[in-house]
Amino acid sequence: MSIVTVQLGQCGNQIGHEVFNAICSDVHGTHGLCSKKENESYHDACKERFFSEEESEVPVARAVLVDMEPKVISQTLSIAARSGYWKYDGRSHFCQKQGSGNNWANGYSVHGPRHKEVIMNLVQKEAEKCDRLGGFFTIMSMAGGTGSGLGAFVTQCLRDAFPTSFILNHVIWPYGTGEVIVQNYNSVLTLSHLYQSSDALLVHENDVIHKICAQLMKIKQISFRDVNQVIAHQLGSVFQPTYTAEGGLHYSRNPLGDLMETLVPHPEFKMLGLRNIPQMPENSLPYSTFSWPGLVKHLRQMLIANAKMEEGIDWQVRPPQLGSSIPSSHSTNKPLHFNTSIANLVILRGKDMHNVDLGSFRDPSLYTSWLNPQDAFNAWKTPRAFNKYEKSASLVSNSQFLLKPLDNVVGKAWNMFASKAYIHQYTKFGIEEEDFLDSFTALEQVISSYTIL
Amino acid sequence: PVSLPSAVGQCGNQVGCRFWDLALREHAAVNKKGIYDESLSSFFRNVDTRSGGDGPDIYKGKICSLKARALLIDMEEGVVNEILQGPLRDVFDSKQLITDVSGSGNNWAVGHKLYGYQYRENIVEKLRKTAEHCDCLQCFFIIHSMGGGTGSGLGTFVLNLLEDEFPEVYRFVTSVYPSGEDDVITSPYNSVLAMKELNEHADCVLPIENESLFDIVNKIHQMIDSGKLGSTVKQNSLVTSSAGSTKTVQEKPFDAMNNIVANLLLNLTSSARFEGSLNMDLNEISMNLVPFPRLHYLVSSLTPLYTLADVNVPSRRLDQMFSDAFSRDHQLIQADPKHSLYLACALLVRGNVQVSDLRRNIERLKPSLHFVSWNQEGWKTGLCSVPPVGRSHSLLALANNTCVKPTFIELKDRFMKLYKKKAHLHHYLHIDGMEQSCFSEAISSLSDLIEEYNELDATKGGPRTDPSRLKIAV
Residue pLDDT tens, chain B, 474 long: 888 999 999 999 999 999 999 999 999 888 888 888 888 888 998 888 776 555 677 877 888 888 899 999 999 888 888 888 888 888 898 888 999 988 999 999 999 999 999 999 999 999 998 888 888 899 999 999 999 999 999 999 999 999 999 999 999 999 999 988 888 999 999 999 999 999 999 999 999 999 999 999 888 888 777 765 545 666 677 777 776 655 544 466 688 899 999 999 999 999 989 999 999 999 999 999 999 999 999 999 999 887 665 444 555 678 999 999 999 999 999 999 999 999 999 999 999 999 999 999 999 999 999 999 999 988 999 999 999 988 889 999 999 999 999 999 999 999 999 999 999 999 999 999 999 999 999 999 999 999 999 999 998 877 777 889 988 876
Q: Which residues contact B328 (CB under 8 A, 6 or more apart)?
A: B334, B335, B336
Q: What's the pLDDT score for residue A298?
A: 95
SS3 string, B426-470, reads: HHHHCCCCCCHHHHHHHHHHHHHHHHHHHHHHHCCCCCCCCCCCC
Partners of residue B355 in chain A, C-beta under 8 Å = 210, 222-224, 227
Q: What's the pLDDT score for residue A229?
A: 97
For the CA atoms of B385, B387, B391, B395, the dihedral, rounded to the nearest 10 degrees, stands at -100
The single-letter DSSP state of residue B150 is I
**Residue contacts between A and B (CB atoms, under 8 Å):** 140
Q: What's the pLDDT score for residue B51?
A: 62
Partners of residue A72 in chain B, C-beta under 8 Å = 275, 279
State the helix-helix crossing angle for A9-28 and A224-239, rounded to 10 degrees. Answer: 60
Q: What's the pLDDT score for residue A328?
A: 44
Q: Which whole-number Å values give the CA distances from B418 to B406, B413, B422, in the listed order? A: 19, 9, 6
Q: Residue B70, Cβ neighbours under 10 Å: how many?
A: 23
Q: Which whole-number Å values give the CA distances from B252 to A37, A66, B7, B242, in the listed order? A: 77, 48, 19, 11
Partners of residue B359 in chain A, C-beta under 8 Å = 175, 177, 210
C-alpha span between A67 and A141 (Å, rounded): 12
SS3 string, chain A, reads: CEEEEEEEHHHHHHHHHHHHHHHHHHHHCCCCCCCHHHHHHHHHHHHHHHEECCCCCCCEECEEEEECCHHHHHHHHHHHHHHCCCEECCCCEEECCCCCCCCHHHHHHHHHHHHHHHHHHHHHHHHHHCCCEEEEEEEEECCCCHHHHHHHHHHHHHHHHCCCCCEEEEEEECCCCCCCCCHHHHHHHHHHHHHHHCCEEEEEEHHHHHHHHHHHCCCCCCCHHHHHHHHHHHHHHHHCCCECCCCCCCCCCCHHHHHHHHHCCCCCCCEEEEEEECCCCHHHHHHCCCCHHHHHHHHHHHHHCCCCCCCCCCCCCCCCCCCCCCCCCCHHHCCCCCCCEEEEEEEEEECCCCCCCCHHHCCHHHECCCCCHHHHEEEEEECCCECCECEEEEEEEEEHHHHHHHHHHHHHHHHHHHCCCCHHHHHCCCCCHHHHHHHHHHHHHHHHHHHCC
Does the CB of B362 have a partner CB in chain A at under 8 Å? Answer: yes
Mean per-residue pLDDT over chain A, rounded? 92
Bridge-based pairing of strands B204-209 and B170-177 is parallel
CB contact under 8 A, A419 and B466: no
Partners of residue B41 in chain A, C-beta under 8 Å = none
Residue of A nearest to B279 (CA): A10
Q: Which of B279, B344, B467 sits opposite A181 (nearest CB)?
A: B344
Q: Which residues contact B147 (CB under 8 A, 6 or more apart)?
A: B106, B176, B177, B178, B182, B184, B187, B190, B191
| CB crowding A56-73: b at 16 or more within 10 Å, else e | eebbbbbbbbbbbbbbbb
- B257 by DSSP, 3-state: which? helix
Does the CB of A425 have a partner CB in chain B at under 8 Å? Answer: yes
Partners of residue A451 in chain B, C-beta under 8 Å = none
ipTM: 0.91
Does the CB of A221 have a partner CB in chain B at under 8 Å? Answer: yes
| Paired strand residues for B299 | B399
- Do the beta carbons of residue A371 and residue A18 sit within 8 Å? no
Partners of residue A425 in chain B, C-beta under 8 Å = 287, 290
> In what helix (H) or strand (E) does residue B92 lie, and over which residues does it extend?
none
pLDDT tens digit string along A91-144?
999 999 889 999 999 999 999 999 999 999 999 999 999 999 999 999 999 999
Indicate the residue type of B193: L
| Paired strand residues for A274 | A396
> In what helix (H) or strand (E) does residue B13 lie, and over which residues does it extend?
helix B9-30
C-alpha span between A250 and A244 (Å, rounded): 9
CB contact under 8 A, B356 and A102: no
Q: What's the pLDDT score for residue B462?
A: 74
Partners of residue B354 in chain A, C-beta under 8 Å = 221-224
The average pLDDT across A158-178 equals 95
Q: Residue B327, Cβ neighbours under 10 Å: how many?
A: 12
Q: Identify from A179, A217, A445, A447 which residue to disrupt to test chain B contact, counting B C-beta atoms within 10 A and taking the largest count.
A: A179
Does the CB of A338 have a partner CB in chain B at under 8 Å? Answer: no
- Do the beta carbons of residue A90 and residue A77 sit within 8 Å? yes
Q: What's the pLDDT score for residue A287?
A: 84
Does the CB of A78 have a partner CB in chain B at under 8 Å? Answer: no
Q: What's the pLDDT score for residue B253?
A: 65
Give how far the C-alpha of residue B9 lies from the chain's centroid of Cα atoms, to the nearest Å.
15
Partners of residue B277 in chain A, C-beta under 8 Å = 14, 223-225
Minimal CA–CA distance to B159: which of B204, B192, B114?
A: B204
Measure CA of the first residue to CA of the last residue in chain A; give whole Å.
34
Partners of residue B281 in chain A, C-beta under 8 Å = 69, 98-99, 101
Is the pLDDT assigned to residue A330 strictly greater than 60? no
Is the pLDDT assigned to residue A331 strictly greater than 50? no
Q: Which whole-number Å values give the CA distances from A316 to A313, A368, A395, B170, in the listed order? A: 9, 20, 20, 56
Q: Which of B1, B278, B356 sits opposite A98 (nearest CB)?
A: B1
- Do the beta carbons of residue B16 and residue B259 sit within 8 Å? no
Q: Which of A176, A219, A224 sits opposite B377 (nearest CB)?
A: A176
Partners of residue B290 in chain A, C-beta under 8 Å = 422, 425
Q: Which whole-number Å values give the CA distances from B262 to A374, B21, B236, in the listed order? A: 67, 9, 14
Give how far the C-alpha of residue B252 lies from the chain's centroid of Cα atoms, to the nearest Å.
21
Bridge-based pairing of strands A391-399 and A271-277 is antiparallel
For the CA atoms of B245, B251, B252, B258, the dihedral, rounded to the nearest 10 degrees, stands at 40
CB contact under 8 A, B472 and A441: yes
Q: What's the pLDDT score for residue B183?
A: 83
The average pLDDT across A203-211 equals 97
- Do the beta carbons of residue A44 and residue A73 sit within 8 Å? no
Q: What's the pLDDT score for residue B322?
A: 95
> In what helix (H) or strand (E) does residue B364 lie, and over which residues does it extend?
helix B355-365
Residue of B nearest to A437 (CA): B470
- Do the beta carbons of residue B155 and residue B12 sit within 8 Å? yes
- Do the beta carbons of residue A372 and residue A18 sit within 8 Å? no
| CB crowding B102-124: b at 16 or more within 10 Å, else e | ebbebbbbbbbbbbbeebeeebe
Q: Identify from A180, A231, A409, A433 which residue to disrupt to test chain B contact, counting B C-beta atoms within 10 A and taking the largest count.
A: A180
Q: In chain B, what is the greatest distance between 2 CA atoms, to the nearest angstrom?
A: 77
Q: Which residues contact B92 (CB under 8 A, 6 or more apart)?
A: B67, B68, B70, B72, B83, B84
Q: What's the pLDDT score for residue A329?
A: 46
Provide, rounded to the nearest whole percent, the portion of chain A with pLDDT above 70. Answer: 96
- Do the beta carbons of residue B412 and residue B450 sit within 8 Å? yes
- Do the beta carbons of residue B385 and residue B275 sit within 8 Å? yes
- B424 by DSSP, 3-state: which? coil
Does the CB of B381 have a partner CB in chain A at under 8 Å? Answer: yes
The single-letter DSSP state of residue B197 is H
Is the pLDDT assigned to residue A325 strictly greater than 60? no
Minimal CA separation from B458 to chain A, in Å: 14
C-alpha span between A8 and B331 (Å, rounded): 37
Minimal CA–CA distance to B339: which of B262, B403, B257, B391?
A: B403
Q: What's the pLDDT score for residue B132?
A: 86
Q: Which whole-number Å values give the CA distances from B101 to B78, B151, B428, in the listed order? A: 9, 15, 20
Residues 290-319 in B contacting A (C-alpha not used; CB under 8 Å): 290-293, 315
C-alpha span between B444 and B215 (Å, rounded): 33
- Do the beta carbons of residue A376 and residue A367 sit within 8 Å? yes
Indicate the residue type of A418: A
pLDDT tens digit string along A392-423?
999 999 999 999 999 999 999 999 999 999 99
Residues 264-283 in B contacting A (C-alpha not used; CB under 8 Å): 275, 277-279, 281, 283
Q: What's the pLDDT score for residue B54?
A: 59
CB contact under 8 A, A102 and B378: no
Query: Confidence band (pLDDT; 50, 70, 90) for A286?
Result: confident
Measured over the CA atoms of residue A319, residue A321, residue A326 and residue A329, the dihedral's sign is positive
Residues 348-407 in A contacting B (C-alpha not used; CB under 8 Å): none
CB contact under 8 A, A441 and B470: yes
Q: Which residues contact A113 (CB under 8 A, 6 or more apart)?
A: A153
